[in-house]
Amino acid sequence: MQTFLRKILISAILFSVSPFLCYTQTPSPDTPSYQFAMVRNISDSFENSLKLNPPLDPINLDLAKQQHEMYIDLIQQMVSAVVRIDADRNHPDCNFIEDTAIIVDDIAVISRMGAIERRGEEGAVAQILQELGKNIVHIHSPGTMDGGDILHTGKHLFVGLSQRTNEYALEQLKSIFQGKTEVVGIPVANSLHLKSVLSFFDSETLIVADTKEAKVIQSNIESLTNEYTFVSVPDVSASNVLRIGSNLIVQDGFSASEATLQDLCNQKSVNLIKIDMSELIKADGALTCGCLLFN
């Protein structure tokens, strides 16, 4: 094993007994479980992260770090190993590792991120994925892609066409996944990413924000296929959920959305787990943003 990967894996946190979870429910067969989660520490420069709007209260860096640690603690109880990368002070958004790559089976597509400030975050991620045996493919200029715009349901790879991800990247993704999975472009308006307003619950159920723009996204998908049921939640921040096996991680602090998600979890025998990520939300961070999940 190469030195770099060995160093990373020394810090991999192996499966441990959970203080949070009761595995009393049977995972449904159509929900992915993962061997690996890759995460990245929060940079000391996180307060300078990109933001669509300045937050009303400034980011509390210490609290952001605590919340990110809680998130990593939670995920480590749901996967076999967490691969953790040091923060990069030159990249205040580096903890939002989801944007750097997408991984489908043995293929890892490395982003050319839409925000110039974020380019360079992907290097360390690509190196580890390569050492873990993934086939590395890069998005090339003029293509731009952020992983937050990519929603893979198992049946479709939905590609949000946003300010960060463009048609050139969509064409490259169609070529990369030709014959493997259907790649579909979905225009995204007034959101950072597609997954800011739409996320995966299971292979037949998607969570969508109750906004005009998100409903247009829903309509676009419905005009293509009737394979999905959409569950609408009133809070935009709550529309990004993180599904790992029989667990659904949701944002704490959004009670109306939580009630809807709890009902869905009850129907589908899924464990709902709440986590407070208030400081990450201030930097437009969502629950899926903080990890790359793969086998």
Binding site for ligand GLY (CB under 6 A): 49-50, 93, 96, 99, 115, 118, 192, 283-284
Considering beta carbons, is residue 77 or 196 the nearer one to ligand GLY?
196
| Rounded least distance, CB 202 to ligand GLY, Å | 27
Distance, CA of 171 to CA of 51 (rounded, Å): 28
Distance, CA of 195 to CA of 106 (rounded, Å): 23
| Rounded least distance, CB 284 to ligand GLY, Å | 5
Considering beta carbons, is residue 185 or 290 the nearer one to ligand GLY?
290
Considering beta carbons, is residue 93 or 122 the nearer one to ligand GLY?
93
Considering beta carbons, is residue 192 or 206 the nearer one to ligand GLY?
192
| Rounded least distance, CB 187 to ligand GLY, Å | 19
Q: Is 182 helix (H, G, I), strand (E, B) or coil?
A: strand
Considering beta carbons, is residue 13 or 124 the nearer one to ligand GLY?
124
Considering beta carbons, is residue 122 or 284 the nearer one to ligand GLY?
284
Residue, CB closest to ligand GLY: 50
